[in-house]
Amino acid sequence: MLRSALIALSQNKNLRQFAENSSMGRRMSSRFVAGMSVDEALAVCERMNREGTAVTLDALGESVATEAEARRSAEVYHRLLDAIRARGLKANVSVKLSQMGMDFDPVLAERVVGEMVEHAAKVDSFVRIDMEGSPYTEATIAMTERLQAKGDGKARVGTVLQAYLYRTAGDAERLLRQGIRIRLCKGAYMESAEIAFPAKADVDANYGTLAERMMTSGVFCGMATHDEAIVERLVAFVRERGVSREAFEFQMLYGIRRDLQRRLVREGFGVRVYVPFGPEWYPYFMRRLAERPANVLFLVKNFFKN
Ligand SMILES: Cc1cc2nc3c(=O)[nH]c(=O)nc-3n(C[C@H](O)[C@H](O)[C@H](O)COP(=O)(O)OP(=O)(O)OC[C@H]3O[C@@H](n4cnc5c(N)ncnc54)[C@H](O)[C@@H]3O)c2cc1C
């Protein structure tokens, strides 16, 4: 119930405006958000690279309402791609379609993301299109396919599939057939039992099956989870089946299970950390609280300690 309440609050505009503009809110967000500016995010990226992890940078924002806003959001990504090249960072970018105008002009969103993918190709980087709630699923997959087909044949764009959706096994086969890189996650939105597994045990089981399929598909995929039981299962699978460590990477979120990230690096696995930053942090932050309601208690305790 707390999860549903926190996800519902993540869409509350008044609370969002209040939180993003208060110094207390910004202080709390630092648990999961790597700063407010491009420079701060790049500094975190450099540190992560030194520690052996690759990065994907997310300039936070979603649900923009005008072309000017979509273009402003895209501009930050173009700066990031140039900086990744100029500083020789082991990094790529993650973007949300609702941040690029998808809600009011899907053609614009495709043009804006297409320009980003072309830029990524020029600087030898990659654009990951994050997956939002189920109204976006088909459109996100279809756009990724069109953008990949337009490109230079190299992997320049990929997307995310969510293990909680029943449709994901089919979507995985569809993308793998086209050589499109997938990030596999469990899924962070509120979905009905008509389209998504309601029980966590079923989501976890589906995740394991999908992950093993992707790791042996010949397409480089990202296993995005902090679930240690799943990580152990995948590590055992890799050893038993002799899967190359170059065939996939683990992905985790900034500020979550740093111990597990470090351990996997030490064991020679590829690890990429999702580094979100920017003043529009509220919906992202609330989804992180929803994933682990104990975080709310943790934040409250720390707030009173300060
Ligand atoms: C790199 C990356 C990219 C993602 N991209 C997307 C996306 O595009 N679309 C989408 O819908 N979802 C995305 N997600 C979120 C994902 O769907 C899950 O909601 C989230 O990762 C929690 O699931 P889990 O696999 O970690 O397992 P869970 O079973 O939720 O958690 C396992 C353990 O991980 C730790 N943990 C998990 N979440 C938290 C947290 N918030 N705070 C503290 N500890 C935590 C806890 O120790 C927990 O016991 C992404 C996740 C990652 C790691």
pLDDT per 10-residue tile (average), the chain, 306 residues: 86 86 85 94 98 97 91 97 97 97 97 97 96 98 97 92 98 98 96 97 98 98 98 98 96 96 97 95 90 79 57
* Distance between Cα 225 and ligand 1 center (Å): 5
**Of ligand 1's atoms, which has the minimum distance to the CA of residue 225?**
25
- Give the model's pLDDT for residue 306: 45
Single-letter residue type at 237: F
Residue 118 to residue 115: CA distance in whole angstroms: 5
CA neighbours within 13 Å on the CB side: how many for 37? 3
Contacts 24+ apart (CB under 8 A), 11-16: 11/283, 15/282, 16/282, 16/283
206 neighbors 197 (Cβ within 8 angstroms): yes
Alpha-carbon Rg for the chain in angstroms: 18
* Distance between Cα 251 and ligand 1 center (Å): 10
Q: Name which residue sits closest to atom 36 of ligand 1, judged by CA.
A: 226
Pocket flag, ligand 1, residue 249 (CB < 6 Å): no
* Distance between Cα 226 and ligand 1 center (Å): 6
34 neighbors 254 (Cβ within 8 angstroms): yes
Strand 221-224 relative to strand 271-277: parallel, antiparallel, unpaired? unpaired
Pocket flag, ligand 1, residue 130 (CB < 6 Å): yes
* Distance between Cα 187 and ligand 1 center (Å): 8
Nearest to 222 by CA among 252, 182, 256: 182
- Give the model's pLDDT for residue 233: 98
Q: Which two tokens stand for residue 189?
A: 């939105």
Pocket flag, ligand 1, residue 253 (CB < 6 Å): yes
- Give the model's pLDDT for residue 294: 83
Pocket flag, ligand 1, residue 96 (CB < 6 Å): no
- Give the model's pLDDT for residue 187: 97
- Give the model's pLDDT for residue 274: 98
Q: Residue 179, SS3?
A: coil
Tell me which of 6, 168, 186, 190 to substitute to probe ligand 1's pocket, judged by most ligand atoms within 8 Å of the beta carbon: 186
- Give the model's pLDDT for residue 90: 97
Tell me which of 160, 253, 285 to substitute to probe ligand 1's pocket, judged by most ligand atoms within 8 Å of the beta carbon: 253
Our answer to whether residue 259 is catalytic in this structure is no
* Distance between Cα 186 and ligand 1 center (Å): 7
Length of the chain: 306
Residue 10 to residue 286: CA distance in whole angstroms: 5
98 neighbors 130 (Cβ within 8 angstroms): no
Our answer to whether residue 202 is catalytic in this structure is no
- Give the model's pLDDT for residue 153: 85
